[in-house]
Amino acid sequence: MERIKTDVLVIGAGSGGLSVAAGAVQMGASVVLLEGAEMGGDCLNYGCVPSKALLAAARAAQAQRTSGVFGIAPVTPQVDYSAVMAHVGEVIARIAPVDSQERFESLGVRVIRAFGHFISPTEVQAGPHVITARRVVIATGSRPLVPPIRGLDTVDYLTNETLFQPRGKPAHLLIIGGGPIGMEMAQAHVRLGCKVTVIEGARALGKEDPETAAVVLGALRAEGVEIAEDAQVSEVAKTETGICVMTKDGRRFDGSHLLVAVGRKSNVENLNLDAAGIETTKTGIRVDAGLRTTNRRVYAIGDVAGGMQFTHVAGYHAGVVIRSMLFGLPSKAATAHIPWATYTDPELAQIGLTEAEARDRHGDRLEIARFEYADNDRAVAERKGRGLIKVMVVRGRPVGVSIVGPQAGEAIALWSLAISSRLKMSAIAGMVAPYPTLAEINKRAAGAYFSPRLFDNRLVRITVGLIQRWLP
């Protein structure tokens, strides 16, 4: 048994863990990194990267179908599903060296390819190694949640961890779960020539603003995705032609393949957290505002911390704990400035409060500024005028933004800066965006906020009239 002492021990080589390891070692700390599975974690191997690569292929196929509006004869794309999956694999391989063991070892990190678990409040065992560290960061991420549906264990079903493995094209893909993963994969597969049915127990995209979500759902239905809502699954069974899914209200859906996409579950079971005095909650590890666990030497970041489950949140958490661990500075994680996006077409993005949440919290103090993509010249030129932005404003500052439309995920980033820096709407109105760009929607939304104050204001009109008389 080898005993190792280090400044920082990181458990998990996903986005958050890799960010901590790279940042800490380059600032002079000794770092040990444990990973028993694949370097890069879920995002690189099963999540963000492969799903966006698949969506890109699907977008290319859809462009062939819809080119008629530009005066170019549309054609039915010839989709080689195996080649599409090869493209996905090539994208993963292209990015993988950035997250590789070799790269991190070249930075000075000791990488141990084994799962770790606590054997005491100060010790972690990984294979034949026992590591003692001044600080430990748990970054073990999450995995697909598999619900206790009757018959599910008797059929071959897919999750995001198996969906991107090479296989033949599904004739009819059934998807249980109408959240972001389910809707992205539904659109990708219908564009690649599959029949797709989404089965959602409540409302599809139910955590999003209903107005903006409706635009996305309408677009998917127009492309041929069947979306069954208020359809709680009761049973799954094999059939002669594939799989059937039955719901509590008696509906039945038959297909060739089944994807389960109902959420994520934090990876905590194999860490032996009790030995370290670390408490858990229903969603993950209990942490304070500084991401410390109930063991003061141990932090938890990313999905395993039980909060917002996004890759960029894990990266943000890494910065929070590095400031605390390495410099002893007070550092807290916030959520108000964290955006997220669903990469359907049109895209859906959100930051802060939705309209309903803002009305509940701020009442009559809330003002809403809106702007339609249909009034953006770049969107019109590219025939992408479907969508809108609405900004929830309280006392001149944005408290939430909902965007649906092309590149919504890009547009929302500006509002993260605005909210994190406590900028007023005047700062957004004062910026200059190149013309013609989709980025202008942000400035135009700010303009919509100020328009009633300037153009429908009697005092302003009187003042301007008086000044014009005085000017030489």
Q: Are residues 128 and 173 in the same domain?
A: no
- C-alpha 12/C-alpha 374 separation (Å) is 45
Q: Are residues 344 and 420 in the same domain?
A: yes
Q: In this structure, how many other beta carbons lie within 10 angstroms of the beta carbon of residue 196?
A: 27
- C-alpha 401/C-alpha 419 separation (Å) is 10
- C-alpha 68/C-alpha 472 separation (Å) is 57
* Residue 464, pLDDT above cutoff 80: no
295 falls within a domain: yes
* Residue 105, pLDDT above cutoff 80: yes
* pTM for this model (two decimals): 0.94
Cis peptide leading into residue 346 (ω within 30°): yes
* Residue 165, pLDDT above cutoff 80: yes
Q: Are residues 276 and 258 in the same domain?
A: no
64 falls within a domain: no
Where do the DSSP E strands lie in 88-216?
A: 110-112, 117-120, 123-126, 129-138, 142-144, 172-176, 195-199
73 falls within a domain: no
Q: Are residues 134 and 19 in the same domain?
A: yes
Closest CA relative to residue 43, chosen from 97, 102, 95:
95
Structure tokens at 106: 């070249």
- C-alpha 303/C-alpha 142 separation (Å) is 6
246 falls within a domain: yes
Q: Are residues 354 and 388 in the same domain?
A: yes
Give strand pairing partners of 199: 176, 228
The confidence score (pLDDT) of residue 465 equals 67
468 falls within a domain: no
282 falls within a domain: yes
* Residue 472, pLDDT above cutoff 90: no
When pLDDT is averaged across residues 150-159 and rounded to a whole number, the result is 96
Domain around 115: 2-39+100-143+265-327
Q: Are residues 33 and 135 in the same domain?
A: yes
Closest CA relative to residue 142, chosen from 34, 19, 301:
301
**pLDDT per position as a tens digit, 32-88:** 999 999 999 999 999 999 999 999 999 999 999 999 999 999 999 999 999 999 999
The confidence score (pLDDT) of residue 366 equals 98
Q: Are residues 121 and 9 in the same domain?
A: yes
93 falls within a domain: no
Beta 388-394 vs 366-372: how paired, if at all?
Answer: antiparallel
The confidence score (pLDDT) of residue 99 equals 96
Count structural domains, the chain: 3
Domain with 424 in it: what CATH number? Answer: 3.30.390.30
Q: Are residues 182 and 299 in the same domain?
A: no
Q: Which residue, of 263, 281, 316, is where some domain finishes?
A: 263
Domain with 242 in it: what CATH number? Answer: 3.50.50.60
Closest CA relative to residue 257, chosen from 182, 146, 158:
158
Q: Are residues 120 and 253 in the same domain?
A: no
Q: Are residues 269 and 259 in the same domain?
A: no
Give Cβ neighbours of residue 338 (< 8 Å, ≥ 6 apart).
308, 310, 312, 313, 316, 351, 416
The confidence score (pLDDT) of residue 451 equals 77
Q: Are residues 382 and 414 in the same domain?
A: yes
314 falls within a domain: yes
Closest CA relative to residue 420, chosen from 360, 332, 356:
332
Percent of the chain topping pLDDT 90: 93
Question: Are residues 237 and 372 in contact, defined by beta-carbon separation less than 8 angstroms?
Answer: no
* Residue 434, pLDDT above cutoff 80: yes
The confidence score (pLDDT) of residue 151 equals 97
Q: Are residues 241 and 372 in the same domain?
A: no
The confidence score (pLDDT) of residue 462 equals 64
The mean pLDDT of the chain is 95
The confidence score (pLDDT) of residue 454 equals 61
**pLDDT per position as a tens digit, 228-261:** 999 999 999 999 989 999 999 999 999 999 999 9
When pLDDT is averaged across residues 289-318 and rounded to a whole number, the result is 97
